[in-house]
Amino acid sequence: MNNPHSNALVSRHAGLDARIADESRRPSPDQSLLAALKKQKLRIKEALTQL
């Protein structure tokens, strides 16, 4: 699983994780943005499990 595609997916997954954490720490987090980011993260996780 050490190919450029999986590495890119892992990197995107980590980036989304950081964005979710940043948004969650805001005084008034945007719930719709959080939901969208979490859906993207889940899609990437599913893609990684299929590799």
Give the chain's mean pLDDT: 95
- 12-27 pLDDT, tens digit each: 999 999 999 999 999 9
| Direct distance between the N- and C-terminal alpha carbons of the chain, in angstroms, rounded to an integer | 7
Side chain identity, residue 30: D
Report the percent of the chain where pLDDT is more than 70: 98
* Domain range annotation of the chain: 4-50
- Whether the full predicted model's pTM is greater than 0.75, yes or no, is yes
Q: Secondary structure of 15-30 in the HEC alphabet?
A: HHHHHHHHHHHCCCCC
